[in-house]
Structure formats: structure tokens, C-alpha cells
């Protein structure tokens, strides 16, 4: 799921509940990264949707696969015999 630049997206408030330990860990992670909590939450939701709704493997997965093929092609050829 591709999102537009943060400056052009209208935000909508919502309310939810979460495990207090998860919520505190997320708030701490946002603070450690110098981000607002809402930014971390939006990022997490976006990544979840991309992972669960996409039919294609994610770009970093394909990149790792390609690097693996480059490095271990001879081994894979032998294993395939």
C-alpha cells in the first residue's frame, strides 16, 4: 500500500484499546526514534496492511532472494540435481 507524503494526507481521529504493555512499548519506541506516536502507529498499520493484503512479495524480500541467488547459484544448481 503506497501512501502519499505525510503533509498531504488528511488525518481522521479514532479511538481504540490495546494491551497496556504493547501500548507502552510502542510509545517508548516512538520516543526513542524521535517520532510522534501517531506516526509510529500509522507506519505499523500501513506495514500490516501491505503484508496481509499484497499478492506480491515485499521489495526487501525480493531483494534478499536476488542476493541469495547471486551468492549461492552454484550451490542451488547442485542441490537441484
Query: pTM of this prediction?
Result: 0.56
List, as own/partner pairs, every contact residues 42-49 make where C-beta atoms lie below 8 angstroms and the sequence separation is at least 24, other chains included: 46/1, 46/3, 49/1
**Tell me: the pLDDT tens digits for 55-65?**
777 788 889 99
List, as own/partner pairs, every contact residues 52-55 make where C-beta atoms lie below 8 angstroms and the sequence separation is at least 24, other chains included: 53/1, 54/1
22 within a domain of the structure (yes/no): yes
4 within a domain of the structure (yes/no): no
Q: What is the mean pLDDT of the chain?
A: 87
58 within a domain of the structure (yes/no): yes
2 within a domain of the structure (yes/no): no
pLDDT for residue 72: 93
Structurally, the chain folds into a number of domains equal to 1
1 within a domain of the structure (yes/no): no
Q: What is the DSSP letter of 34?
A: T
Write out the residue range of the structural domain in which residue 71 sits.
13-80
Amino acid at each position: 500500500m503506497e501512501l502519499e507524503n505525510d503533509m498531504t494526507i488528511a488525518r481522521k481521529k479514532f479511538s481504540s484499546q490495546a494491551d497496556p504493555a504493547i501500548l507502552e512499548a510502542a510509545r517508548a519506541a516512538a520516543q526513542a526514534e524521535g517520532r510522534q506516536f501517531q506516526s509510529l502507529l500509522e507506519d505499523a498499520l500501513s506495514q500490516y496492511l501491505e503484508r496481509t493484503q499484497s499478492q506480491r512479495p515485499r521489495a526487501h524480500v525480493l531483494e534478499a532472494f536476488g542476493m541469495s541467488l547471486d551468492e549461492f547459484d552454484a550451490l542451488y544448481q547442485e542441490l537441484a540435481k
